[in-house]
Structure 1
Amino acid sequence: MTTGVRGVGVDIVDLGAFAASLAEPGTRLTRAFSPTERRQCRERAEARGADRADGFSSSSPSSPTSASPAASSPPGAVTPRRDEDPLARHLAARWAAKEAVVKAWSAALYGAPPPIAPDLLRWAEIETVCDAWGRPTVRLGGEVARQVAATLGEDVRWNVSLSHDGGSAIAFVVLEGPLGG
């Protein structure tokens, strides 16, 4: 059987709005990320100096960001803008990837109803994980993995590119798999 591009998805996220959503008490957005995604984003942010005394602590595994800069900033410290929060930048790129995966999958199913109702989709089942060299890929779990296998087969490949610059994060996803026939 021949393989080829089955779908393409792209999504862009406004970093300021995303960081503000993360900072809201009780936000459900934090549950959209798997423990692996949160850990990898925290490690990438810390590697770029995110865990210094600027108020953005990443020590809490249940909360991807802390927005209490006044409580821990030294006197005279400049509080970073929300779109400059390194942890939020990495999580925003992964959020964009989740959206792009759904768009690529939907493109592959053109003309057919979605196998999972949008309000029942568990976003944490769509993971963007990186290898030891920082190269991203998609790993599916739970009902999302079962439905992708049922609708597209077991042999699909997700090609992912993530980027963030200025006030935006973007993800581009190409879904490859067996073509009909």
Structure 2
Amino acid sequence: MLGLGHDVVDVAAFAEQLGEPGSRGKLLFSARELRQAAARAKAKHDDEATHLAAKWAGKEAVLKAWCEALGDRPNPYTLDDFPWGLLEILDDSRSRPHVVLAPACDATLQESLGARDSLRWHVSLSHDGPVASAVVLLVSDVRA
């Protein structure tokens, strides 16, 4: 294990921020993430913001796991310049979440960690009432 990240999001506050006039909150998500959140909300008869809040918690947990994995190495991003749109939290065909990094973001991750082995992300998302949360592990497939 290289890094562990956890994040919690207040769903109501997050929904309020998304709904503010002129909000750019949805720009933090890819078109695929927005489509999946809308589809899941429709299927579950709840609010799209609930599912986006869980995806946002996942994105923040990815950043935290990455930062932990860096140790004393320099961080290539700050919260202000992290390429949120290049990091997706998507569900597979069985509704299991996974992390998808755009090639440029993945290359930066590999370079920042000096990775020689394959890196894998594990992500768990949850929401219950007013809270959405995520736990993320970054692991290396070390070859003997």
TM-score in same-fold range (> 0.5): yes
SS at match of 2:118: coil
Aligned-pair distance for 1:133?
A: 0.7
Aligned counterparts of 2:82 and 2:127: Cα–Cα separation in 1: 25
Which deviates the most, 115-124 or 36-45?
Answer: 115-124
2:119 corresponds to: 156
Which deviates the most, 124-133 or 89-98?
Answer: 124-133
Aligned counterparts of 1:29 and 1:155: Cα–Cα separation in 2: 32
Letter matched to residue 168 of structure 1: V
SS at match of 1:47: helix
Aligned counterparts of 1:161 and 1:97: Cα–Cα separation in 2: 8
Match of 1:49 among 37, 45, 48: 45
CA deviation profile, 1:115-172 (whole Å, cap 9, x unmatched)? 1233221211110011111001000015422211212336111100000001000000
1:79 corresponds to: none
Whichever of the two has the greater Rg, that structure is 1
Aligned counterparts of 2:99 and 2:119: Cα–Cα separation in 1: 11
Task: Give runs of aligned pairs for residues 1-181 of structure 1, distance below 5 A.
Answer: 5-50=1-46, 86-152=47-113, 153=115, 155-178=118-141
> Are the counterparts in 1 of residues 33 and 90 from structure 2 also a CA contact under 8 Å?
yes
Aligned counterparts of 1:49 and 1:121: Cα–Cα separation in 2: 32
TM-score of the superposed pair, with normalisation by structure 2:
0.91
The answer for unaligned runs of 5 or more in structure 2 is none
SS at match of 1:11: strand
The answer for unaligned runs of 5 or more in structure 1 is 51-85
1:59 corresponds to: none
1:60 corresponds to: none
Identical positions, percent: 43
> Are the counterparts in 1 of residues 120 and 140 from structure 2 also a CA contact under 8 Å?
yes
